[in-house]
Structure 1
Amino acid sequence: MNAVLDPIAALGRAVLGLVRQSGALAMFALEGLSHLVRPPFYWRIFLSTLIETGFFSLPVVALTALFSGAVIALQSYVGFGQYHVQSAIAGIVVLAVTRELGPVLAGLMVAGRVGAAMSAQIGTMRVTDQIDALTTLSTNPMKYLVTPRLLAGTIALPCLVIVADVLGVLGGFTVSVAKLGFSPSTYITATLDSLKTMDVVVGLVKAAAFGFLIALLGCYHGYNSRGGAEGVGSATTAAVVGASILLLLFDYLLTDLFFSQ
């Protein structure tokens, strides 16, 4: 009997743990957002996080987008060559970059870079009792540490995705013209004909959601870290892995919401 009940009990504990963790994360997010409408707002933390998330993440996001666009053009040329529809490459590149690759790749790069940094910074403050010291100084830790970072992440990632969209299309254009023999004017015309405002807007909506999730997971795991340096390391890992999984999950949900009809 135990051989049958033990796996069921383990599954039940896992489900309850997931529900408990999801509820705690949701309450953490609501508390962080509630401080947006209650002064004071710590602009210095917000601006420094905005620069750290946006400006200093620009090189890795730009290179990722540029080479991704180039690879899409190359792979599309090989695949479409079997059906003699190479003229569709420009449309495929702009569609893939604006709808999916721009937001998703930028989000994953920022999750690995900024999400980990947020979790490590706040986690270090937790295990060294600096967060308790903020409370002693009559400073709300959520308002000071979490709220500015949530807003900065939500704003910074769409700005990065705009750059990623442009560079991704540029990468496809460069490879198509320099290597595959396309006419520059024809490629640009096909790109503009395929570019739709809705695709760009949905990509930016995804980016805002991804930026919020990355900041949320980084702050949450750092804020709740325990156990010294080992706990900070575990929180950092959990922040990056959790943000990446939620990013892909919400990418599917938002894609289904906007493009399922």
Structure 2
Amino acid sequence: MFQSLGKYILLLRLSFKKPEKFSVYWGEVMREMVSVGIGSLGIISIISLFIGAATTIQVAFQLSSPLVPRSIAGSISRDSNILEFSPTISSLVLAGRVGSNFASNIGTMRVTEQIDALEIMGVNAPGYLISPKILASITMIPLLVIISICLGITGGYIACLITGTITPADYLMGVNDGFDGLTVRVALVKAFVFGFIIASICSYQGFYTKGGALEVGQSATAGVVYSCVWILFADLMITSLML
């Protein structure tokens, strides 16, 4: 365990070593940002809309007592989406989509000796392959989480229009009532940390792949599993510290 942790820390140090040609690395960062951000926008949008709608309907069902104001369902749905559903569930989904892609790409380069060729040419392979992925993830995943929050709240509004469980006016009143900016800050901190976890762990798994195509698949699976576990652990720690 300690040996793996040492290799992980060393890989991160090499990844953020000063690049020889910044322009080359900048191009890789832009390419990864497009892949992580634009490539994941569709699945994040669909998930956020449906989770927001389902959350609102379930909250309205549980708070069906005449003694409870109907608008409170909007407040609970808003805070649930901001604090937990949008950052955590979106990151778990991105660990499967983005993380497996990172691990398989780097793992394929390792088993086909492309990384060895980069090192022979004097290129800092971790910096060239891993740092753009980390920078893209910690930049784009918070943006995706912001979009997810907006779409989650929109999904709740659409559910009110379609099902009539709560009037849209009551829902919007609840969304606007008692809003605390701390919840958004917590969500963005979570998104930043989760993005780093996904990119670094999956890249680590891919970079130290040994064998062939079967081992590349195993590395991608291991990267996703470890990322999900650490995301849940980090979620608990950040929530405990900031709330």
Question: Same fold, TM exceeding 0.5?
Answer: yes
- Report what 2:219 is aligned to: 235
Residue 78 (1) aligns with residue 61 (2): yes
Percent of matched pairs sharing the same residue: 32
Q: For 1:148 and 1:76, how far apart are their aligned partners in 2? A: 41
> Rg: which structure is higher?
1
- Contact (CA 8 Å) 1:61, 1:105: kept in 2 or not? no
Q: For 2:131 and 2:81, how far apart are their aligned partners in 1? A: 30
- Report what 1:124 is aligned to: 108
State how 1:127-206 maps to structure 2 within 5 Å: 127-206=111-190
Deviation of 1:77 after TM superposition, in Å, equals 1.3
Residue 224 (1) aligns with residue 208 (2): yes
**CA RMSD after TM alignment:** 1.5
TM-score by length of 1: 0.87
- Contact (CA 8 Å) 1:45, 1:148: kept in 2 or not? yes
Q: How has the CA–CA distance of structure 1 residues 201 and 243 changed in structure 2, closer, same or farther, with 3 Å as cutoff?
A: same
Q: 2:42 aligns with which of 55, 59, 79?
A: 59
Q: 1:253 aligns with which of 217, 237, 243?
A: 237
Q: For 2:19 and 2:35, how far apart are their aligned partners in 1? A: 25
Q: For 1:256 and 1:39, how far apart are their aligned partners in 2? A: 41
- Report what 2:6 is aligned to: 23
| Equivalenced residues, count | 240
Q: For 2:75 and 2:120, how far apart are their aligned partners in 1? A: 58
Query: Is there any run of 5+ residues in structure 1 with no aligned partner, and where?
Result: 1-16
Deviation of 1:81 after TM superposition, in Å, equals 1.2
Q: How has the CA–CA distance of structure 1 residues 28 and 194 changed in structure 2, closer, same or farther, with 3 Å as cutoff?
A: farther
Q: For 2:56 and 2:133, how far apart are their aligned partners in 1? A: 36
- Contact (CA 8 Å) 1:123, 1:222: kept in 2 or not? yes
- Contact (CA 8 Å) 2:44, 2:148: kept in 1 or not? yes
Deviation of 1:211 after TM superposition, in Å, equals 0.7
Query: Is there any run of 5+ residues in structure 2 with no aligned partner, and where?
Result: none
Q: How has the CA–CA distance of structure 1 residues 92 and 39 changed in structure 2, closer, same or farther, with 3 Å as cutoff?
A: farther
Q: How has the CA–CA distance of structure 1 residues 223 and 189 changed in structure 2, closer, same or farther, with 3 Å as cutoff?
A: same
Deviation of 1:82 after TM superposition, in Å, equals 4.4
Listed one character per residue, the Cα deviations across residues 194-238 of structure 1 (whole Å, up to 9, x for unaligned) are 332111111011101111111111210000000111110110000
Deviation of 1:38 after TM superposition, in Å, equals 4.8
| Secondary structure of 1:195's aligned partner | coil
